Amino acid sequence: MMSARRVATALADPVSVLSLAPDQWTELLAIARAERLDGSLAYRLADLPLPAPVAQALDEARAQAEFGRTQALWEVEMARRVLAPIGIVPILLKGSAFAFASLPAGVGRLVGDLDILVPRHRLDDAEAALLAAGFEWAKTSAYDQAYYRRWMHELPPLVHADRGSMIDVHHSILPPTARPSPNAAALIADSVEIAAGIRILNPADMIVHAVTHLLADGDMAGGLRNLWDIDRLLRLFASTADFWTMLGERAVLHDMREPVALALRLADHIFATPVEPRLAGYDRLRDGLYVRRLLARDGWGRPTRPFTRLAFYVRSHWIRMPPLMLARHLWTKARGV
Amino acid sequence: MTARVYRTDFPSHCRTHPIDGLLLVFHRPSGTTHFLDEPVPAMLAELARAPLDAAALCVRLCERIGIAHDEEALAVVEARLAELVASGLVVAS
Amino acid sequence: MHALHLRVGPISFRVGSAWRSPIAALRLLYAGYPQPDEGIATVTARIGPPMPWRRWIRAQVAIAGDHSLPDTVPMALRHGLLAAEMAMNMQVALGERRYLLLHAAAVERGGKAVILPGESGSGKSTLAALLGESGWRLMADEFVLIDLVSGLARPFPRAISLKNSAIAEMESRIGDPTRFGPHLADTPKGALRHLRPNAEAIARMDEPARPALILFPSFGFDPASDGVSRSELFMRLTEGSTNYVALGQAGFEATLRLAETVPAARFAYPNSATGVAIVEQFCAEAGL
């Protein structure tokens, strides 16, 4: 069952919802919430004549998105206050970047943790400053601490003792052990200053990062939202001259040519995003597997296709860590270290 | 080492309301609600006039209230300043 | 999936269950409640097995829906009705953004609402149930909804949760056995039985009322009472609200308006009869 297709259709073609039956509305709302796309949906449908109960439910989604946006921007400001005095200008990633830069991808989007990118040689300084400012380690086992520092591209997650908010400090966008090896130095060198003390990735790099998040970094749980981010970003950036050329070059630079091509094809399939055909390449048989995974929800918002989910989970760990290391990591985790 | 200077734009971006001798504050950028008791509102009023370091703030504050500015008073001011910085109402540089 | 659609005040639910019996019990408990407006339920709550094999083998019931919390403990199938109610509560507590939520009971008389905030064990549900059978209209026993613009309380008359000794008390008070749900023994909250609000409460579930008095009850002590200052009232109202923070400034303004305009007091009481009498006395003094 690929019921999340209805959410994708509603987002891509808002007028299509006008023919929905009452039960279909109930299901659409449940699936949108499960995919954390209810806020985005609310903004997309805002100008349509909707049944009163639906309009009210979408008002609530917008209110929640507004609250989330306020929280996200505040966390950015507090991080800036902590890092500016020691000369670190964080590069915002993902939802916080979209919200701060008022990008279309940020409209209605619920933001989770604050993700920032800093140069690897400043990591210790950033860590010290954040700990002094009231952040604590979220995962405290010695194994988890060692695992993150040795194998991952980010510090272990930090949670603020009073605010309860989380911050993930990255030094790259994929683990050093991963197969694709993005060029962290280039990400930082070619970032854009968006305000005093705050930077974001340049447009092409922002797409490449969104693609790592969609395909290479996780088991695609919540992937539809990532793909929607990519659709929104592509539509905005494509109006810039030379954008597609830049995207092609950056994808090659970050060793992400194939994943970016796949993401473009998926966005085209699911959201009818206009994409540059030479970058997207020909459809592959495996594309259908990804489409099914991205849309795998039933009318109650429950994820379907458990076997496909497991396959993706194992695959994503394989991308992050070569097989021998993976076996050791899983063995240690299973022993409960 | 130069002392840290504290600044605030209070009450900008805030909705304030006096209640039972306390000051209720809704701080819009953070979405946080604060109940402030003296000397904190007085401290904010002083910092709003001009950025100060802890020692200078203590002197001004004690003059305002009419008490001697001693080590104990300074310790209280520094403790409250730390809370204000953590809450986001005051910025330290 | 077995499903039930119903409307309670301004909230329309679609409740789903992997098992038939909890939905059947829920349908009986909410007999007479309206269907969702325009047939569209906008809040989904559901109960199901935490693992697929737990559906029939030593069946376990996990609560879920649009919103869920990671650490909820699964329940036994014989408590499925309670689980369904908890799933519905969870959606409201975590998802409501149109109204300020107060964790409280409320009753209405003459267009004025008396609000009784309190956690489980404060006795608010039992007091509200008793008042609801003695000349007052029950508006809510768990969540009071405050309109962010008008400040009025909107009714949300769900089934009342009666616990332990309150069960027998209400059974003797109410002649109609069909208003009660099944007797549930050994729940995490002790013995529990649900009571459907009376026909008047259901018929008038869309009539708001102006909050006129806020009384904080404490059960199990000698009678005593005390005023509650405006600043304390503000603090206690925010503590008892699951969505105060998420509502931003609108939540602040609505809470402040209540704290500034509605008289408040706390009282302790040893038994229900005394509790009801104290509430009536406060109301008389307040001119309600």
Q: Which of A52, A53, A70 sits opposite C248 (nearest CB)?
A: A70
- Centre a 10 Å sphere on the Cβ of residue C54 and count the other Cβ atoms it contains: 17
At residue C192, does pLDDT exceed 90? yes
**Residue C59 neighbours by CB under 8 Å, 6+ apart:** C19, C49, C76, C77
Characterize the bridge pairing of strands B52-53 and B5-7. antiparallel
Give the span between the Cα atoms of A274 and A264, in whole angstroms: 9
Number of separate domains in chain A: 1
Chains in contact with chain A (at least 3 beta-carbon pairs closer than 8 A): B, C
Peptide bond preceding B39: is omega within 30 degrees of 0, i.e. cis? yes
Domains of chain C: 1-95 (no CATH), 99-288 (3.40.50)
In the predicted model, what is the mean pLDDT of chain A?
Answer: 88
Three-class SS string for chain C? CEEEEEEECCEEEEEEECCHHHHHHHHHHCCCCCCCHHHCCCEEEEEECCCHHHCCCCCEEEEEECCCCCCCCCEEHHHHHHHHHHHHHHHHHHHCCCEEEEEEEEEEECCEEEEEECCCCCCHHHHHHHHHCCCCEEEECCEEEEECCCCCEECCCCCEEEECHHHHHHHHHCCCHHHECCCEEEECCEEEEEECCCHHHHHCCCCCEEEEEEEEEEECCCCEEEECCHHHHHHHHHHCCCCCHHHHHHHHHHHHHHHHHCCEEEEEECCHHHHHHHHHHHHHHHCC
What ipTM was assigned to the predicted interfaces of this complex? 0.93
pLDDT at C171 over 70: yes
Whether A319 has a pLDDT exceeding 70, the answer reads no
pLDDT, tens only, A29-50? 999 999 999 999 999 999 999 9
C24-53 pLDDT per residue, tens: 999 999 999 999 999 999 999 999 998 877
Model confidence at A334, in pLDDT bands (50, 70, 90)?
A: low
**Domain with A90 in it:** 4-334
pLDDT tens, position by position, C125-153: 999 999 999 999 999 999 999 999 999 99
Give residue A236's pLDDT: 96
Q: At C52, give phi and psi (nearest 5°).
A: -55, -35
Identity of the residue numbered A53: P
Minimal Cβ distance to B33: which of C230, C231, C252: C252
Residues A235/A274, Cβ–Cβ less than 8 Å? yes
Kindly tell me if the per-residue pLDDT of A337 is higher than 50: no
Contacts of B20 in chain C (CB under 8 A): 229-231
- Reading the block at residue C142, the tokens are 């768990």
Nearest CA in chain B to A66: B31
Mind listing the pLDDT tens digit for each residue in C210-263?
A: 999 999 999 988 999 999 999 999 999 999 999 999 999 999 999 999 999 999
Q: Where is average pLDDT lowest: A87-96, A287-296, C163-172?
A: A287-296
Residue A156 in tokens: 């272990």
Q: How confident is the model at residue A292 (pLDDT cuts 50, 70, 90)?
A: confident
A-B contacts at Cβ under 8 angstroms = 21
Segment C193-217 shows an average pLDDT of 97
CA–CA separation, C65 vs C43, rounded Å? 8
The pLDDT of residue C214 = 98
- Position C283 confidence tier, pLDDT thresholds 50, 70, 90: very high
CB contact under 8 Å between A73 and B29, yes or no, is yes
Average the pLDDT over A143-153 and give the result. Answer: 78
Name which of A41, A43, A15 is nearest A28 in CA terms: A41
Residue A199, SS3 per DSSP: strand
Residues of chain A with Cβ-Cβ distance to B29 below 8 Å are 70, 73-74, 77
Residue A336 pLDDT greater than 90, yes or no: no
CA proximity to A210, closest of A289, A52, A103, A85: A103
Is residue A43 helix, strand or coil? helix
A331 pLDDT higher than 70: no
Query: Touching C: which chains, 3+ CB pairs < 8 A?
Result: A, B
Residue A305 has a pLDDT of: 67
Q: What number is the average pLDDT over the span B41-68?
A: 93
Residue A84 above 90 pLDDT?
yes
Residue A309: per-residue pLDDT: 58
Name the band, by pLDDT with cuts 50, 70 and 90, for residue A134: very high
Least CB-CB distance to C40: which of A25, A70, A301? Answer: A25
A312 — pLDDT class (breaks 50, 70, 90): low
Given this model, what pLDDT does residue C101 score? 97
Task: Calculate how close chain C gets to B70, using CA atoms only, in Å.
Answer: 32
Q: Is the pLDDT of residue A271 over 90?
A: yes
Is residue A326 scored above 70 in pLDDT? no
Contact C183, C167 (CB under 8 A): yes
